[in-house]
Amino acid sequence: MERLSLDISDVWLARKRIASLIKKTPLVKSTELSRCAGCPVYLKMETQHEIHAFKVRGAANKILSLNQKERARGVTTFSTGNHGMAVAWVASRLGIPAVICVSRRVPAAKTEAIQRLGGRLHIHGESQDEAEAECVRLEREEGLTVISPFDDPWVIAGQGTIGLELLEDLPELGSVIIPLSGGGLLSGIGLAVKTNRPTSRIIGVSMEGPAVMHYSLKKGKTLVMPERTTLADSLLGGLGTDNRYTFHMVGDLADQTLLVSEREIAEGIAFMLNHHRTVVEGAAATTIAAILSRKFKPDPQPVVLILSGANLDPSTLFQAVRMAANHTKDPV
């Protein structure tokens, strides 16, 4: 039976449940970003999971919660890429069939990875909402269990395990800057952090354009917006046809939401490559952009940036580096 509430005990249970599959990721101080921000800045390296993205936490918690009959029937999901990879990887490890529904906008690097990880790929439509419709059809006609990318208590609790790790490694943290799309990541981290350290600030950052959660919060209701090409392709997609959790949780937990431009995202990607010799995808680079653009106003307390993923198509990496190089010198 679906639960209608979520609290910190769910996050602790998720941590125990996923421990056999998911390892703690490093928290690394960035000297360059600390100098730019005027306060200590740390990077939470969610890029270091086996699928190079945080999504594996929530997928693991949800799939491990299924009973044997549900596992035998198989699972399905809709995704902009990383969640599909996560479901495919976890399902493969547990011997569960998985069908991954994506739109035609999902980069080839991610669709190819989904297939390598053992997922059966369904490409359907031009948006995540259309991919979701295909996923619902598979649930109805084939009896597969849908593993939501974000609006599910088990998925949210799984992502919240990041917040527990942050509090262990940096109990004095002041702010956490989090890529924001459907809101599962911010909801989980926000729940874990705010429950234990209510004075901490939770900041969501999205790309300019189809930032559905950002504009939905401003309107006070969930909106539907057309997707368009962006360097932060992992942040594309709507809030689901019947959002039950993340819209309200993000509204309660986020102290601020910010938007960054495509140029600023490109500069974030280039910055990580230049200063940390690390490839991050556009969604992760939005957090770097929030610091470099100075749209985030820090205080003296430490700031953590969630580097959500590293699944960047090589052509997109080249495009971002060229875009950044053609604009200005390194902001730092």
The model's pLDDT over 256-306, given as tens digits with 9 standing for 90+, comes to 999 999 999 999 999 999 999 999 999 999 999 999 999 999 889 999 999
Return the CATH number at 169.
3.40.50.1100
| 246 — pLDDT class (breaks 50, 70, 90) | very high
Q: What is the pLDDT of residues 110-155, one digit of tens each?
A: 899 999 999 999 998 888 788 888 899 999 999 999 999 999 999 9
Name the residue range of residue 170's domain.
Answer: 8-53+152-325
Last residue of a domain, one of 112, 146, 180: 146
Do 238 and 164 share a structural domain?
A: yes
Last residue of a domain, one of 146, 161, 193: 146
Do 194 and 71 share a structural domain?
A: no
Do 273 and 157 share a structural domain?
A: yes
Closest CA to 184 of 217, 225, 224, 155: 155
**β-strand pairing of 120-123 with 98-102:** parallel
**What pLDDT was estimated at residue 2?**
45
Region of 220 please: left (phi>0), alpha (psi -120 to 50) or beta.
left
Q: Is 314 helix (H, G, I), strand (E, B) or coil?
A: helix
Do 298 and 196 share a structural domain?
A: yes
Do 123 and 36 share a structural domain?
A: no
> 2 in a domain, yes or no?
no
Do 156 and 125 share a structural domain?
A: no
Do 304 and 175 share a structural domain?
A: yes
Do 107 and 157 share a structural domain?
A: no
Residue type, 189: I
Please write down the long-range contacts of 273-279, taking CB distance under 8 Å and 24 or more positions apart: 273/317, 273/321, 274/330, 275/30, 275/32, 275/330, 275/332, 276/30, 276/32, 276/43, 278/47, 278/307, 278/310, 279/47, 279/310, 279/312, 279/317
Q: Locate tokens 């999971």: which residue?
A: 49
User: Could you give phi then psi for residue 222, rounded to 5 degrees?
Assistant: -75, 135
Closest CA to 95 of 53, 135, 121, 63: 63
> 88 in a domain, yes or no?
yes
Do 97 and 236 share a structural domain?
A: no
Distance between terminal CA atoms of the chain?
51
Angle at 257 (CA atoms; ends 252, 18), nearest 5 degrees: 65
Look up the pTM and report it.
0.93
Do 142 and 158 share a structural domain?
A: no
How many folded domains does the chain comprise?
A: 2
| pLDDT over 80 (residue 240) | no
> 332 in a domain, yes or no?
no
Last residue of a domain, one of 121, 146, 171: 146
Do 213 and 199 share a structural domain?
A: yes
Do 319 and 272 share a structural domain?
A: yes
